[in-house]
């Protein structure tokens, strides 16, 4: 139940960050796309880090 709200806050925060750092319209559009998929990058990097530490 709380996961959706947490994802929503993360999306808004990431969108604001990417849009504020955009230098043009297309980099802003790409920023919105990145804001939608940032949890996938986070989980991938975390799992990659953990596998390096375990092996």
Selection from 2, 5, 7, 3 nearest residue 38 by Cα: 7
In contact, 28 and 7? CB cutoff 8 Å: no
For the chain, give the mean pLDDT: 85
41 has a pLDDT exceeding 70 = yes
pLDDT classification of 51: cutoffs 50, 70, 90: confident
Taking the complete model, does pTM exceed 0.85, yes or no? no
pLDDT score, position 4: 79
pLDDT classification of 54: cutoffs 50, 70, 90: low
pLDDT score, position 27: 94
What are the extents of the domains in the chain? 2-54
């Amino acid at each position: 139940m709380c996961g959706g709200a947490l994802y929503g806050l993360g999306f808004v925060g990431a969108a604001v960050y990417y849009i504020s750092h955009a230098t043009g319209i297309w980099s802003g559009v790409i920023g919105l796309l990145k804001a939608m998929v940032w949890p996938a990058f986070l989980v991938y990097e975390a799992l990659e880090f953990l596998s390096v530490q375990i092996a």
